[in-house]
Structure 1
Amino acid sequence: MKIAIVLLLLLFFVLYWLRIDFRRGQKHHTQNNHNRVYPKRRGDLKLYTDGNDLFAELFKDIDQATKHVHVLFYIIRNDQFSQHFLDLLMRKARSGVEVRILIDWMGSRNISKRIIKELKKNGVHFSYSFTPKLPYLFYTSQKRNHRKITVIDGEIGYLGGLNIGKEYINQDPRLCPWRDYHLKMTGESIQDLQYEFLTDWYTATKEDYRNSDSYFPKQQPGSMQHMIVPTEGFGLEEIFTQFFHKAKNEIIIGTPYFIPSEALLEELRKLLKKGIKLTIIVPFVSDHPFVKEAAYRYFRILIKEGAHVLQFQNGFYHSKVLFIDNNLCDIGTANFDKRSLFLNHEVNCLIYDPSFLAEVAKKIQDDISKSTTLSECMLSRPTLIQSIKERIAYTISPFL
């Protein structure tokens, strides 16, 4: 009996410490950081929805680099495809091109010390982003740099949902084909992507290159108006709310994980009451435990009030896209979940160009054609196991 009491007291102490650590760490972070705001720029954008097409283009551009290659990914796997990518970076570094690679400590935790040593030996500048640190050990262990940025010679940029691993090029049978949205860009906004990378590099290494002109060659404006929107683990909720307020007829949300904050849920309910059409596209197949169950609570409410929830059936759906009235599109790294809203560092791109929006609209319609409707009756009678999983999912939803 005494042992049980001691164990309960110990558990209570640990949970209390985790709660205090997280809250104080989050407060310290928001007080000492800010979201950078960039202006609308003009450039040229190209959309990729297939990993093989994207990486063929990305690898070609890296291979043709002459000055510097800056790479930031949330995930780099320890597999053959990832090794091919790292071999390319090492070859470029040996040729005299300046190569920096920044990866998230947790997302890329399977990268071995041997590979890191080999990268450095071949001249690649390597660093982890967001390693856990005292005094807020639990909070920093939950922080993620979820951005995916590549900047080549300060002239070509990439951002979107694809990481480096075999699943992203359709080599995981369970998640194949992999559907994602990723951008290649040239033009004025490359300076903003470069600044974001160098800011993250400074945070990780304390090496500051943000005032070095060699990384910011002047770029000619392109034809498409867009804007880079980074967030530092806060502020995304307000940005999404501003998007929703622009809607007059229709909003489409494409996301692999739908776990909104209560404030965003209420905003969506208000839109439905106004008669604005809401379509949400999520995967049928899940790549993480509990993420589907975490969404069901919100889907029951929204479907009952008129939302259309679609489950993508043709492989795994990893796209992160918001589409509003054929007037505004948001593509980037942020999921529609609490982790992206309140923990992850993300970077998105707002796009206003009518021709590009028309292309995105076609891709979204293709997604919709490969999806089936999730109805209210499908969620109305959960099994006991499903109910337990939903309860667990709700409890841990801020960290999913």
Structure 2
Amino acid sequence: MVWIVAALILLVLIVMIRLDFVYGREHLLKSSINRTYPIRKSDLSLFIDGTDLYADLFDEIRRSTHSVHVLFYIMRNDEESREFLYLLKQKAAEGVKVRLLLDYVGSFTLKRKYISQLKESGVQFQFAHKPRLPFFFYTLQARNHRKITVIDGKIGYLGGFNIGKEYLGKDPKLGYWRDYHLKVTGEAASDLQDLFLKDWFHAVGTENTIANHPLYFPSLEEGSSKVRVVPTFAHHLEALFLSFIKEAKSEIHICTPYFIPSHTLHEALITALRKGISVKIMVPMRSDHPGVKEASFPYYEKLLEEGCEIYRYYYGFYHGKVMVIDDSFCDIGTANFDKHSLYLNAEVNLLIFDREFIRSVKATIFEDINRSERLTLEFYHKRSLLERLKERAAAAISHFL
């Protein structure tokens, strides 16, 4: 009798979660509007090492005179995070307008005493995407995965790095952290500012009172590279990635820490391979989350059979989120090639149309390939029964990994 009751309770919970997710997503898609920005002219710097990025980012914040706007998915309680928070408090004490927006789930463990200290020092603080009723489970999954910093409305940053010791290679389980993060000056910085403020006032729950304010949106000079800021939320990313694949004429590079594509994208890659288009995929050998590595494997077999080159980065942990299509454009940002980014997260990427910059990105990717092991069909078919069972289990819940 006890087992029957327990089974009924479990069944009811599963049904409730399923309904929560389905109707929560339906409600969000009805109300979501995908923002679009025009092509701009900006100057770019690429950071692939956390130490270099932090040094540059911290220095630019120290030099700020009016405003510092920061959005991260993850903020830790470690020494590196405390140093960053201390810097924000210092700038607020100097009279700089400092706004810090963190994802509620990604930064849930941040100590509340640190948040109180920030507010006491004058830093404006908010959590983004707090889970809420009536669709608690869905909103728990739908995260703000963006990483944006805008300083004085003139200097912007976006990419894969968060704030914490692991991003400096100080986590012994992960080792060296390889990532791609951009510094943007010139016209596109205003679009990053606009996007940050939209996310900020959505979290605050009030109207944007400083839209187009000249202190936050100063006149900016053109840079040397054509770029476009591309925000996505929920379902928009799949269509974007699909358009990239369909535009390819000769080669596609995909770099991602989590390769869990939708059926549509998986089939599009197979179609590209059958057309003779070279497809190279870079993923990490190690995993920073349970199940994501296993969930990727079921997608590899057909790709390998069609000639796809899949490389697994072994020199630490690979967290880059990059797509390069021929020599025509590349895409760098926060979006992973997985179902969480495709269907749930708020993301932001930068499309880059500068051939010289694209060549430098491809050269960096080939450096990463030299620190990787190519996955072969022979290795793939030698996986143990236990590994295959883990993969099937992970694939079944891949939307939530």
Aligned partner of 2:326 in structure 1 is 325
Aligned residue in 2 for 1:177: 176
Secondary structure at 1:258's aligned position in 2?
coil
Post-superposition shift, 1:223?
A: 0.6
Counterpart of 1:131, as a letter, is K
In the other structure, the counterpart of 2:211 is: 210
The correspondence of residues 1-400 of structure 1 with structure 2, limited to 5 A, is 2-207=1-206, 208=208, 209-400=210-401
Q: Distance in 2 between matches of 1:225 and 1:397?
A: 35
RMSD: 0.9
Equivalent AA in structure 2 for residue 215 of structure 1: Y
SS state at 1:173 partner: coil
Aligned letter for 2:35? Answer: R
Distance 2:376 2:395 in 1: 21
Secondary structure at the residue paired with 1:264? helix
Task: Kindly state the Cα deviation for residue 15 of structure 1 after the two structures are TM-superposed.
Answer: 0.5
Q: Any idea what SS the aligned residue of 2:145 has?
A: coil
> Where do 5+ consecutive residues of structure 2 fail to align?
none
CA deviation string 1:362-395 (max 9, x = no partner): 1011011111111112121332321221121011
Shift of 1:231: 0.4
1:161: how far off?
0.2
State the Cα deviation string for residues 286-342 of structure 1 (Å, max 9, x = none): 111111110100011110111010001111100000011111100000000000000
What's the CA shift for 1:355? 1.4
Paired residue type of 1:337: D
After superposition, the C-alpha distances for 1:60-86 in whole angstroms (9 at most, x for unaligned) are: 000000000000000001100000000
In the alignment, residue 198 of structure 2 is paired with which amino acid?
T
1:88 deviation in Å? Answer: 0.2
Give aligned pairs, total.
Answer: 399
Q: CA offset at residue 123 of structure 1?
A: 0.4
Deviations 1:191-237 (A, max 9, x none): 11001100000110024232433211110111100100000122100
* CA distance in 2 between partners of 1:54 and 1:262 (Å): 35
3-state SS, counterpart of residue 336 of structure 1: coil
The aligned amino acid for 2:65 is T
Alignment-mate amino acid for residue 241 of structure 1? L
Structure 1 regions of 5+ residues with no counterpart?
Answer: none
User: Which shows bigger deviation, 235-244 or 210-219?
Assistant: 210-219
- Using structure 2 for the length normalisation, give the TM-score: 0.98
Structure 1: distance between partners of 2:109 and 2:232: 26
Aligned to 1:102, the other structure's residue is in SS state strand
3-state SS of paired residue (2:14): helix
The runs of at least 4 aligned residues of structure 1 exceeding 4 Å deviation read none
